[in-house]
Structures are given as structure tokens and as C-alpha cells.
């Protein structure tokens, strides 16, 4: 199959229409973007302003087409403008944009989530993953009456003040250890531990256990590249938190409904020591619209207003259009869809690895279900320090070459590559056809820097 499709010729294309938009954008928006990694600062070059998207493809404002390996950072699991999701959105939007009252779609989406993830008895819908983790922390603090939280270096949980310490991709990309503007009082309640390190966890709990409300972890981290939990690590989190009366929050905003029909929990659970107490979801469950959720044990969720004393609210929470998109997307996530994701990601990951090996380029592919990322370094990555010990310039050279050949990778060495069920053989072939030149670009970058 390789080579059947000619890659788009890598020519000195400097994206004139994107350049013009970027210059307009930087005048009115910091960095010209509404989320930092989109600016391509780490990978270099001009971020492409997209004009449209369909199936596995993005088309930029100059009319150039790209195979999309970002998939809006995860949500577009069925591909762009999937007919069933489009029909659901069009149907919903004709019936009103936002009611500010409860509506049936919200119930149906909550039922779908509860049906898929066994330990989740109740959920509340919000509009972003950030809101989900922020609210889950508040509930955990309200429930336990404690204020400290444990997070792991390299895990990203949205831009929640208390969780912006050593928070992976966005910050790693910009080499910021933490964000400015987070008060010490807020970050001071956060204990950051190395991922996959049970002794460090036990030591932190031995010292601070009585004041720790919760441990929050990415179910299988994807925001420092893919760094799955080592066997037994999630169980250790459960054991230690239970022993100290702290809650365990599993952040499945990225992995939820992507790794499997019930997310990472569906791959690794159920756990002998019991499931996490709370889960957070986003990305896939919104189908490309702003919808996210947090949920878990009913007795903990009962802490939320109006039943309990923990306040949480949202003008657009459970928006009828967003919930229609999310519901149609989850309904569309059939076993065949998950099978296709596996096939596509294996084809791309394996071919990339083979091509890099052929050129003698040090790298390691790491996977979590159909999610994968490639680190330009020797040896498995089990934590953030190891993730950072990679050849970022090698990734940049690879990224630039792929982009010039019409393949849109995540513009950071610390991000997962996302595929969709709409990535057909033609789209996969285009990616594979671009690999030889991209590997050569990496080799050239080594030569240039030595
Ligand atoms: C993307 C992400 C978030 C934040 O979600 P937003 O919708 O961007 O606020 C939180 N946690 C994880 C694991 C994520 O990948």
C-alpha cells in the first residue's frame, strides 16, 4: 500500500493566506491564537488557519489539504462533519440554541455516560474539561473537608489554578515549569509527585495524608506524550488513597470514550481495590462542541448544589446543541469504530517507527489503546523527566516535513497523535507516503546540529 499515493510535493509553500490571517490575529489576540500550542511556537512555521474539515482532512485558507492527525485534540473520533452528528446538530439547532432550563438531551447524554462507565453513578455536565476537573476537585474538597491535592508531574488537567504545576504539553512546549498568575496560596495546596512512582506516593501520604482531599491523575497520561501507568500503579493509587480517606479522581477527558467504549477504565479496570471515586470527561463526549462532565459515586455527587453545599453552575451547561452532538458521537462509537481506530493507529505508528529505524533515528513509540505518541529518544518513557529528555529539534524537523507534505501532526513533541474512524486507507497511505522524506529531514537536522 505504501507509495500508492503520491505525497503532496513539499515545495516552499509559505501559506500566504494563513500568514495574512496570523498578522491580523496577532493585532487583536495574544500570539494570534486562542490556545497556546496552536501558535506552532515550538514546532516552528506558520500555524495553518483552517477553512473547513471533512472526514480525515483539514483544508486551510489557501485551499491546501492535510490529513488531520490532531482531530481537534481528540473529539473528532468519527472524523470531521460526520453525517450522523451533522444531522443531530442540524436537528437540534432548529429547535433553539440554548434554553437555560433542563432538556431531554442532557438526560440522554448523562444516561449514555453512566451506561458506559460502570463506576459512574451520576454525572454533571459542564462546558470544558477544565471546568470538569476544577469542579471535581471542589466536590472532593467539600466531601472530605480537606484542602490539599496530589497531582503528577506531566499530567495536564486543564488550566485550573491548583493544577497548573508541572502540567505537561502546553507548559512543556514553552518550558514553563508553572504558570505566572497562580497565587502561592492556590499552588501551595498542590503536591506534585513523579508519575509511576509508588514510593514517592506513599511518602507524601505518610507525611500529609491527613490533609489530602484527593489524588487526581490522567487515567493514562497523554499530555506529556503517551505515558501509560505501569502495571499496578493505578491500583496503588486506589490502595493509598483509600487507606488515608482521600478520593481518587481519574481524569479521562482525553482517554474517555477513545481508548475504549468506556475509556481507559474499560481497558484497565475493574480494579481489585475498587474503582476511582470520581471521573472527568470531555473531548469525545462533546463531539467537537463544548460539552464535558464529571461524575462518580452518587454519595459524593450528592454534595453538589442544589442537593448539597458545594456550589457549581453554568449558563451553557448541558447546551442542547452540544449535547446533541455529544450524544450522536457516542452513539456512533460502535465496536467497528474502535476496531478501525486500532487498525489506523497501528498502521501509522508501525510505519513511522519502521521508517525512523531504517534511518537509525532513536525513538520510542508508546501506546494507550489507539492513542500513541513518538518520543525521539532511546528507551521507554515512564515519567515527565524522561519525556523531557527527548530530541525536540528532531521532532520539529519531522513535523515540518510532514506538514509540507500535507500531514497535520500535533505541533509539539509532547502531544499524542489522534486518528479517527474516518481515516480510510487513502488517508493512511498519504501519511505513510510522507514518512521517508520526514525521516530524512530528521537525519539532516542531526547533521546540521553536529
Ligand atoms: C484536554 C484536557 C483537559 C482540559 O480540557 P479543556 O476542554 O481543554 O478545558 C483536562 N484534562 C485532560 C486529561 C485533557 O487532556
pLDDT digits (tens, 9 = 90+) for 330-381: 999 999 999 999 999 999 999 999 999 999 999 999 999 999 999 999 999 9
The three grid cell numbers given for residue 41, joined into one nine-digit string: 511556537
Q: What is the mean pLDDT of residues 164-185?
A: 68
Question: Is the pLDDT confidence value at 3 over 50?
Answer: no
Tens digits of residue pLDDT in 37-81 = 999 988 888 999 999 999 999 999 999 999 999 999 999 999 999
SS3 174: coil
pLDDT of residue 316 exceeding 50: yes
Give the residue, out of 37, 157, 228, 368, with the most ligand 1 atoms within 8 A of its beta carbon, to mutate for a pocket test: 157
Q: What is the DSSP string of 11-54?
A: -----HHHHHHHHHHHHHSGGG-SSGGGG-TTT-SPPPPEEEEE
Q: What is the mean pLDDT of residues 138-162?
A: 95
Q: In Å, how far are 182, 213, 413 from 178, measured between CA atoms? A: 8, 22, 18
The confidence score (pLDDT) of residue 318 equals 98
Q: CA-CA distances (angstroms) from residue 409 to 1, 241, 267, 394?
A: 21, 37, 26, 14
Which of the residues 60, 68, 197, 251 is marked catalytic? 251
Q: Does residue 204 have a pLDDT over 70?
A: yes
Specify whether the backbone of 178 is left (phi greater than 0), alpha (psi in -120 to 50) or beta: beta
pLDDT digit string (tens) for 235-249?
999 999 999 999 999
pLDDT by residue (tens digit) across 260-309? 999 999 999 999 999 999 999 999 999 999 999 999 999 999 999 999 99
State the maximum Cα–Cα separation within the chain, in Å, rounded to a whole number. Answer: 64
Share of the chain above pLDDT 70, in %: 95
CB 410 within 8 A of CB 69: yes
Taking the C-alpha atoms of residue 65 and residue 413, their distance in angstroms, rounded to an integer, is 22
Grid coordinates representing 406 are 500535507
Catalytic entry in 283, 338, 384, 429:
283
pLDDT digits (tens, 9 = 90+) for 389-418: 999 999 999 999 999 999 999 999 999 999
Residue ranges lining ligand 1, Cβ < 6 Å? 128-130, 133, 156-158, 218, 223, 251, 253-254, 282, 292
Q: Is 424 a catalytic residue?
A: no
**Active-site residue 151, yes or no?**
no
Q: Ligand 1, closest atom to CA 282?
A: 7
Residue 419's region, left for phi above 0, alpha for psi from -120 to 50, else beta, is: beta
pLDDT tens per residue, range 96-133 = 999 999 999 999 999 999 999 999 999 999 999 999 99
Ligand 1 atom with minimal separation from the 133 CA = 10
Amino acid at each position: 500500500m505504501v507509495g500508492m499515493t503520491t505525497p503532496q510535493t513539499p515545495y516552499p509553500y509559505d501559506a500566504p493566506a494563513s500568514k495574512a490571517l496570523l498578522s491580523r490575529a496577532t493585532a487583536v489576540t495574544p500570539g494570534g491564537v486562542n490556545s497556546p500550542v496552536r501558535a506552532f511556537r515550538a514546532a516552528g512555521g506558520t500555524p495553518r488557519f483552517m477553512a473547513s474539515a471533512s472526514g480525515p482532512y483539514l483544508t486551510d485558507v489557501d485551499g491546501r489539504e492535510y490529513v488531520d492527525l490532531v482531530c481537534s485534540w481528540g473529539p473528532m473520533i468519527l472524523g470531521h462533519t460526520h453525517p450522523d452528528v451533522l444531522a443531530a446538530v442540524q436537528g437540534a439547532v432548529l429547535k433553539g440554541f440554548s434554553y437555560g432550563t433542563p432538556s431531554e438531551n442532557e438526560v440522554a447524554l448523562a444516561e449514555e455516560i453512566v451506561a458506559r462507565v460502570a463506576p459512574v453513578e451520576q454525572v454533571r455536565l459542564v462546558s470544558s474539561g477544565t471546568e470538569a476537573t476544577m469542579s471535581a476537585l471542589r466536590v472532593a474538597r467539600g466531601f472530605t473537608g480537606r484542602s490539599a491535592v496530589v497531582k503528577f508531574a506531566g499530567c495536564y488537567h486543564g488550566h485550573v489554578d491548583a493544577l497548573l504545576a508541572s502540567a505537561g504539553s502546553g507548559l512543556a512546549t514553552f518550558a514553563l515549569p508553572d504558570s505566572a498568575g497562580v497565587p502561592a496560596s492556590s499552588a501551595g495546596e498542590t503536591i506534585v509527585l513523579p508519575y509511576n512512582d509508588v514510593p514517592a506516593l506513599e511518602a507524601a501520604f505518610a507525611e500529609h495524608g491527613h490533609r489530602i482531599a484527593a489524588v487526581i491523575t490522567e487515567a493514562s497520561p497523554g499530555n506529556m506524550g503517551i505515558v501509560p501507568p505501569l502495571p499496578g500503579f493505578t491500583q496503588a493509587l486506589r490502595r493509598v488513597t483509600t487507606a488515608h480517606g482521600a478520593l481518587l479522581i481519574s481524569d479521562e477527558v482525553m482517554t474517555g470514550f477513545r481508548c475504549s467504549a468506556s475509556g481507559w477504565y474499560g481497558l484497565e479496570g475493574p480494579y481489585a481495590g475498587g474503582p476511582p471515586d470520581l471521573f472527568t470527561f470531555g473531548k469525545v463526549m462533546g463531539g467537537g462542541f463544548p460539552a464535558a462532565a464529571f461524575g462518580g459515586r452518587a454519595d459524593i455527587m450528592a454534595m453538589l448544589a442544589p442537593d448539597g453545599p458545594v456550589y457549581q453552575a453554568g449558563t451553557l451547561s448541558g447546551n442542547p446543541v452540544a449535547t446533541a452532538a455529544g450524544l450522536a458521537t457516542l452513539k456512533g462509537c460502535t465496536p467497528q469504530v474502535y476496531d478501525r481506530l486500532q487498525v489506523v493507529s497501528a498502521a501509522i505508528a508501525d510505519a513511522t517507527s519502521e521508517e525512523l529505524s531504517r534511518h537509525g533515528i532513536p525513538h520510542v513509540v508508546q501506546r494507550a489503546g489507539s492513542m500513541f505518541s513518538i518520543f525521539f529518544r532511546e528507551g521507554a518513557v515512564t515519567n515527565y523527566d524522561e519525556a523531557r529528555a527527548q530530541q525536540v529539534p528532531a521532532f520539529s524537523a519531522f513535523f515540518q516535513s510532514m506538514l509540507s507534505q500535507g500531514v497535520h501532526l500535533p505541533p509539539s513533541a509532547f502531544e499524542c497523535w489522534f486518528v479517527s474512524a474516518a481515516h480510510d486507507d487513502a488517508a493512511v497511505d498519504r501519511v505513510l507516503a510522507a514518512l521517508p522524506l520526514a525521516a530524512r529531514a530528521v537525519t539532516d537536522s542531526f547533521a546540521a546540529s553536529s
